[in-house]
Copies of this chain bind each other. A is one copy, B any other.
């Protein structure tokens, strides 16, 4: 399903086949947690911002409106009217960051919903059933995302349990996919590597994970408290142990520079709430660095956010107008800012792919790594 087109150093250019179309990699996935992108973007808008893959959240959609409801509505693709590939995360991350009163056993996790406090049990089988009901193209294995720093003993035990959970996910998803009423029988499972910043635990976990022969592998539990250098080092150490004929997904990462450096270390898939969140607060990406549209100096600026950008926002609206909308608290600001920032990310990955196609990725990296994260 993953086809490696070309390599440059450790960086990889590929395609990944899904039931809702081929994904060109490296790819950034646009986050629509509850079946909608923050800032008022619709599925139509996803096409306009050159989105390839939409990412939704198992925990959130299970709590509200309920995955069974989504299934009765024809699945998440039909519910939100998005016809491209969808990846759903496993719910693990939110259970460990958002929900209350968690209790972990070998079976799974009991937690209290952040919406109404209702007690919910989710284990690997439940996570797979929910994701099967949503009908995403890529389902993520149910995992515990351990915060950094955590004691080595805890990380080791958690890793081993997450690995056992992953094996159960595989069995359950195969069962669900073989059922005649499977919504998306081609749904694929990605395993998630954990181990905090303990390199030996990461490697041991990866060696065991690859034995499961899954369609893809993610690196989870990074960008949760470690330094950027620790994150880069962990990826570099781990990468040789990841099968080269499977896509690698660095979960929840990151800044434009993190993405360029991730690609340079052999990563193929990325997702992050940062472009949408930062956009809402006034931080807008440009090809020369990040501007803060709150700044007084933009109040009379007739130019677009970025003269080099060909997004639907830059082709029409001025910095002056955007700043006015932000200062007034107009919802339209959110929409325009999020559209611009997500377009920027999707274009960044397009440019990375173009540079890989032309054997110019290292030059691209030299030009843009670091620089794109700077406030100007």
Contact = CB atoms under 8 A, between A and B. Distances in A.
Contact of A332 (B42, B73, B79, B323): B42
Contact of A330 (B36, B300, B330, B336): B36
B42 A79 contact: no
Interface residues of A, number: 41
Contacts of A121: none
B331 A335 contact: yes
A292 interface: no
Interface in A78-126: 79-81
A47 interface: no
B40 A332 contact: yes
Contact of A321 (B35, B64, B317): B35
Given A79-B318, A316-B81, A334-B40, A328 B73 contact: no
Nearest to A42: B332
Contact of A73 (B60, B69, B73, B302): B302
Interface string A144-163: 00000000000000000000
A84 to B, nearest CB: 15
B79 A320 contact: yes
B321 A79 contact: yes
Interface string A320-359: 1101110110111111100000000000000000000000
A124 to B, nearest CB: 26
A79 B332 CA distance: 14
A255 interface: no
A72 interface: yes
A88 to B, nearest CB: 16
B300 A72 contact: yes
A219 to B, nearest CB: 29
Contact of A40 (B35, B40, B44, B323): B40
A337 to B, nearest CB: 11
A37 interface: yes
Contacts of A81: 316-317, 321
Contacts of A316: 43-44, 81
Contacts of A40: 39-40, 330-332, 334-335
Contacts of A300: 69, 72-73
Given A36-B332, A64-B327, A81-B321, 8 more contacts: A34-B325, A35-B325, A38-B331, A39-B40, A65-B320, A69-B320, A79-B321, A335-B335
